[in-house]
Structure formats: structure tokens, C-alpha cells
Amino acid sequence: MKSDDYYSKGTQVHWTCKALLDQREISHATEIREVRGWRLDAIIHRLKSDYGWPIQTRYRSPDNVAFYSLPMETDRSALRFPPSASALGKLEGAE
């Protein structure tokens, strides 16, 4: 197996960033259903640790499933973006 197979695909990272920016609360099941991904926890960890995103985690019972979201007051222009989601960092209407 190639080492690239251990990392999240760019489309999954882009989807995660867009979903969070759209003020969605997402879970692993959401990612599987929408982009057939399986690395949401790793993507969230990387966004938090490497890019400084203020992602909130809420656990729902009875299975203690993690749901991720950004605080409503998050300043999009202050976020750093991974390469595969860099286009999302551009403000709408700006060139």
C-alpha cells in the first residue's frame, strides 16, 4: 500500500472545511454519507493542531458520537486553510 493511502483525500478536507464554514455540525456518519470518507477525526485534529481552527466537539449519547462545528463568531478571514481548501479562504466578491 502506498503511503498516500494513509492520508485524507483533498476532497474530504475541502468538504470538511466547507461544511464547518457553512455552520454545519458534522459527524463521521455525515462524512461517510456525503463524501464516502473515513478520516474525519484525523482531518479535525489537523485543522485544530496545524491550522489553529477553533473547532468545538460535542458528544451525543448513547453512543458518545462526536459532532464537530465552528463557533458562530468565528472570523473566516482569520483562519488558515490547508492547500486543498485554500479557495474557501477567499472572501465572496473579492478577487
- Domains, the chain, in order of start with CATH, read 9-85 (1.10.10)
Average pLDDT of the segment spanning 22-40: 93
Locate 22 and state its grid cell: 457553512
The whole-chain average pLDDT of the chain stands at 86
Share of the chain above pLDDT 70, in %: 84
Confidence of residue 10 (pLDDT cuts 50, 70, 90): low
Who contacts 87 (Cβ-Cβ below 8 Å, separation ≥6)? Answer: none
pLDDT at 3: 43
Q: What is the DSSP letter of 65?
A: E
Confidence of residue 4 (pLDDT cuts 50, 70, 90): very low
